[in-house]
Structure formats: C-alpha cells, structure tokens
C-alpha cells in the first residue's frame, strides 16, 4: 500500500513539472510572437512612409466621392398619343350609290357644309309626285272650305278634303327628311382627315364615311401603371417630347382617371395641347416624363457603386487612416437600404451619413478594413 502511494505521488510530481515546462515554453513563444508583430508593424510603417509596396502590403488605388444631401426627384417615362375630342367619322345614313364627293383629304370645312351625297333619284321622284298631289289636294280643300263656310255641301266632304291635304303634307315632310339622309354634311368645323367612300360605290349606314378632325382641340392621352395613381395628380407639370417633330413642351396634367382598367391594371391621364401648336397632329406618338416623387434632403450615390449579396445591398465608405492621414485611407463595408433610382443615381435611405466619403471607382475587389490610396496607380 505504501509502495502504491509513493508511485502516485511521484507521478503527480512529474506531471506538475511537465505542465510548468509547457507553460513556460508557451510564454516564451508568445513573447517571441509579440516581438515579431511589433517588428512587422514597424516594417509596414517604414514601407508606407517610403511609398513602397510589397507582397504583404499591397495597396489598392481607388477614387472616392464626398456625398452631401441634395434634392432627389424620381420620374416616370411613358408613351402616349395625340387625340382629338372632335375626331368624327361621319357615315352614310341611308343605303345607296355614292353620287358625288365634294371634298378631298386636307380640305377645311365648316359646320353644316355638304361633303358628299348619295343617289336620291327615288326620293326626288317621290317628292315631285307628292308636291303635285298636294297642290291638287290644297285646291280641293280650299274650295270645300269655302262651300262649307256657306253651308253648301256636307261636312264629310270638307273633312275628307282636309285630311287628304294634311296627310300629303306629312308625307312630303317625311320624304324630305329621308332625302336629307342621302346628304353627308359636317357636324363640326374642321379638316377632312379620311374619305372612306368612293363615287359610284354602294354605301350603307354604319360603313365607311368621311372623317373630320378639329385640330384646335387636341389632347395627349397616356396609360400609367396603377402603382403610380397616388403619386400623380391634376396640375402636375410634365415634360412632353414629340419625337417626330423633335419638339419639347412643358404642360400640365388636366385630368387623372380614378378608375383602374381591369384588363391591364392602368389608369389614364390627359393633357391639353395649346391651340397655337399647329404642327401637332392626331395619332402622333409622344413621350411623357412625369415627376412622381421628390425628396428634398436625400443622400444619393451612383447606381453602379451599389453591390448586392443575396438580399443585402452594400457599398464601401472611406475614411482617413489614423496613422497615415495624408497617404492612406481605410474602407468600410456598409450595408445600406436603397430607395428609388433615376438617371444613374440611387437614393440611400439608411446606412450612410451626410458628408461621408464613398468609393466610386476600384471598389470591386475591396474587403472590409482594407487600406487604400486615392488616385490611379
């Protein structure tokens, strides 16, 4: 038993001596490490101060930009067309052969002006016959009326003559109205835009006709996505470009529809064209630039400096190196929350502060905490 205890005590003594030796060796190695780190740091400082490079202290050259809060505007660009409220296709109102067309495309016409007529020979013949019969009927009625006033003849003869006359008069009015339907007249003053009938061809109600456009009442009509309906309102200024005329106008929105088209989920806006714009014609294409958002105090950066990893967006900010403020900068990876973007500029909602510097060139291979130099190597 005593022998066993002696053996255990000896083992513990040996382990204790071994542990002390290991700790001593660890302290010695740590001391050597600290000395090496200090020497490495000194060497790096010497290299930086001498503007040198080595494999262990490779410097990235970047360009930076100081950001300041400024007004940011977002715009919607959408195509529209020129339309006219007074763009009327006047069809024939009765069937028949087109007898004559009195106008040609581009003519200016007045309200009520005769544009074309169909063959109305049947109505003309009926009118002539009715006029002859009505003349006789009026003569008979006048004689019966004189006789009846003298109590000569019967009342029935008088009433028959009166009824016959009045019936012929009504028939003549009806046939005259039908005859008028063979005439195509303009309901407005304007310009002949299309002629869809030809002389000698058959015409029918609802088919073909003559289009008259009043160019003094033109408007722009465009459809916008329903997502913008709360941001666009009557009175907003719009930049209007008419490519075919190479013309730009700044006009106000006159009407904003509050009804969403269920087919394409859009709503319409309308803009009136000034009356003095004589070169603008119906059906021309236009491009509208509508300001739908303004942030008067926004931080913005070039959209191409924003990088993404998964759902996160980030960029690199830069600040002067505390040890070498005149030569070197340190970069920091910043997770940011982007907002709207327009014209190569994007709004940063969160993650940046006013008057900070960001890296705008040479940021592709940077890592957080890297030391950089400003300029082009």
Give the strand pairing for 60-66 and 371-374: parallel
Tell me the three state secondary structure of residue 28: helix
Verify that 325 and 355 share a domain, yes or no.
Answer: yes
Give the model's pLDDT for residue 13.
45
pLDDT of residue 15: 43
- Output the pLDDT for position 20: 62
The rounded distance, in Å, linking the Cα atoms of 280 and 245 is 8
Is 328 found in the same domain as 291? no
Please report the DSSP string for 363-377 in residue order: -TT--TT-EEEES--
pLDDT value, residue 328: 87
Instruction: Please tell me the distance from the alpha carbon of residue 271 to that of residue 269, in angstroms, as a whole number.
Output: 7
Tell me, yes or no, whether 343 and 261 share the same domain.
Answer: no
Give the domain CATH number at 286: 2.40.30.170
Residues 317 and 367 in one domain: yes
The total of structural domains in the chain comes to 4
In this prediction, residue 155 carries a pLDDT of: 86
Each residue's pLDDT, cut to its tens digit, for the chain (377 residues) gives 444 444 444 544 444 545 567 777 777 887 787 678 667 656 655 654 554 444 445 678 899 999 999 999 999 999 999 988 788 899 999 899 999 999 999 899 999 999 999 998 999 999 999 999 999 999 999 998 888 888 887 888 889 999 999 999 999 999 999 999 999 999 988 889 899 999 999 998 888 899 998 877 789 999 999 999 988 999 999 999 999 999 999 999 999 998 999 999 999 999 999 888 888 888 899 999 999 899 999 999 999 999 998 889 999 999 988 877 777 899 999 999 999 989 899 999 999 999 999 999 988 888 888 989 887 55
367 CB neighbour count, 10 Å cutoff: 9
| R_g of the chain, CA atoms, integer Å | 47
Output the pLDDT for position 37.
63
Residue 81 CA neighbour count, 13 Å, CB half: 6
Residue 46 pLDDT: 60
Which of 178, 104, 166 minimizes the C-alpha distance to 138? 166
The whole domain housing 362 covers 55-70+296-374
Residue 347's pLDDT is 95
| Domain CATH number, residue 127 | 2.40.50.100
């Amino acid at each position: 038993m005593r022998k066993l205890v002696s053996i255990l005590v000896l083992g513990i003594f040996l382990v204790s001596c071994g542990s002390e030796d290991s700790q001593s060796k660890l302290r010695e190695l740590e001391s050597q490490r600290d000395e090496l780190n200090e020497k490495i740091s000194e060497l790096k400082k010497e290299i930086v101060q001498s503007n040198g490079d080595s494999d262990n202290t490779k410097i990235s050259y970047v360009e930076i930009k100081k950001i300041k809060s400024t007004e940011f505007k977002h715009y919607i660009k959408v195509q529209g067309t020129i339309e006219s409220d007074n763009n009327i296709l006047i069809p024939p109102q009765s069937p028949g052969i087109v007898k004559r067309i009195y106008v040609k495309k581009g003519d200016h016409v007045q309200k009520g002006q005769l544009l074309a007529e169909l063959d109305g020979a049947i109505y003309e013949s009926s009118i002539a016959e009715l006029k002859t019969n009505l003349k006789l009927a009026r003569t008979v009625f006048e004689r019966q009326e004189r006789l009846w006033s003298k109590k000569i003849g019967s009342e029935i003869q008088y009433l028959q003559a009166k009824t016959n006359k009045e019936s012929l008069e009504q028939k003549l009015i009806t046939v005259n109205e039908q005859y008028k339907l063979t005439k195509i007249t303009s309901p407005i003053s304007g310009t002949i835009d299309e002629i869809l009938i030809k002389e000698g061809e058959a015409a029918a109600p609802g088919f073909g006709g003559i289009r008259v456009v009043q160019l003094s009442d033109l408007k722009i009509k465009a459809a916008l996505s329903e997502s913008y309906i709360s941001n666009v309102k009557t009175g907003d200024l719009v930049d209007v470009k008419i490519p075919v005329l190479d013309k730009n106008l700044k006009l106000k929105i006159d009407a904003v529809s509050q009804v969403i088209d269920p087919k394409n989920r859009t709503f319409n806006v309308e803009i009136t064209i000034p009356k003095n714009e004589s070169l603008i014609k119906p059906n021309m294409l236009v491009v509208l630039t509508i300001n739908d958002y303004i942030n008067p105090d926004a931080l913005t950066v070039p959209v191409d400096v924003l990088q993404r990893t998964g759902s996160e967006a980030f960029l690199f900010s830069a600040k002067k190196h505390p040890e070498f403020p005149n030569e070197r900068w340190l970069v920091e990876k910043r997770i940011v929350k982007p907002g709207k973007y327009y014209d190569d500029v994007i709004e940063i909602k969160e993650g940046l502060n006013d008057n900070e510097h960001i890296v705008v060139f040479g940021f592709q291979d940077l890592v957080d905490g890297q030391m950089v130099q400003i300029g082009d190597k």
